[in-house]
Structure 1
Amino acid sequence: MAFEKNEISEADRIMKKYDTHDPFLIAKKANITVLEADMGNITYAIRNHYKRTDIITLNQTINFAWKNFVLAHELGHCYLHHGFSTTFYRNTPSSGMINWAEKEASTFAMEILDSQLREEDSYYQLTPFEKLDHLGLPYSLEDYLV
């Protein structure tokens, strides 16, 4: 069944398999097509799954740090939630509930991005907010740091 993988161990497995924690390099090595398009101010990315092929389209208007997170998030869907397409929307004040698939994909993404920081000597002295500052990400992602 598609939803039985642990997001942390799966992210670690993928990083080890492709010997990188760069989401763009992971996608390239995994033959996942990454495109960019202007998607307005509502959508961060769309992942389409068709005939065993994944295509991720990123919003070209978001900054590079956010693209890294969004791509890692969509890769999480590729590896954790096989067989269906997803759209990653911007946070809105009315969206207080986030479904389990989005939580898993965000935790997967933060495991990949946080692993970049682990190579630094000062990693274990950093607070969660300092880690997010270093990654260029908003504090709202603190809950996904492991």
Structure 2
Amino acid sequence: MNIEQLVRKLVRKHGTTDPFKLAAQMKVTVQILDLPCSCRGYYLRTLRRRFIAINQNLSDVWQRVVCAHELGHDQLHRGISRFFLDESSFFVAGRYETEANEFAVQLLLYNERPEEEESIDTYFMRHNIPTELTRYY
């Protein structure tokens, strides 16, 4: 199953694209914590419990993106706890980070399309998604 199909299945099953609501329905605990500024968030699975930690110093827009990204790790890389680090995860993204970013973009833009002649940057801004993520569209 590819990322687009996985996102479609999750949205249909849970009836939402809101990453915080999805996490709650999927029994993934989300905590907003005081993390180092170089760490936007991380996913952790321990003793069959699943956790997402999000840096409290991020804007609401970024907290939503990080939650979606970490849900991507939960769904795609369940056996692996990965850190979503600041800028380095955008420019030196490994396979797991790239896939989690693609999952986040697919989730946050589910059933949305750019308007006629709308740039991708404008499309992302209209949906409150940082333009740094356009490469994963």
TM-score scaled by length of structure 2: 0.90
Find the counterpart in structure 1 of residue 77 from structure 2: 81
Q: SS of the residue aligned with 2:36? A: coil
User: Do the aligned partners of 1:7 and 1:105 also contact (CA within 8 Å) in 2?
Assistant: no
Task: List alignment gaps of at least 5 residues for structure 1.
Answer: none
Q: Which amino acid aligns with 1:33?
A: T
Counterpart check, 1:113 vs 2:105: no
Pair 1:97–1:123, CA change in 2 (3 A): closer
Find the counterpart in structure 2 of residue 26 from structure 1: 22
Find the counterpart in structure 2 of residue 55 from structure 1: 51
Counterpart check, 1:15 vs 2:11: yes
Instruction: Indicate the larger mover: 129-138 or 60-69.
Output: 129-138
Find the counterpart in structure 1 of residue 127 from structure 2: 135
Counterpart check, 1:68 vs 2:52: no
Please report how far the alpha carbon of residue 95 of structure 1 lies from its aligned counterpart in structure 2 after TM superposition: 7.2
Find the counterpart in structure 1 of residue 38 from structure 2: 42
Task: List alignment gaps of at least 5 residues for structure 2.
Answer: none
Find the counterpart in structure 2 of residue 101 from structure 1: 96
CA distance in 2, matches of 1:102, 1:15: 21
TM-score scaled by length of structure 1: 0.85
Q: SS of the residue aligned with 1:57? A: strand
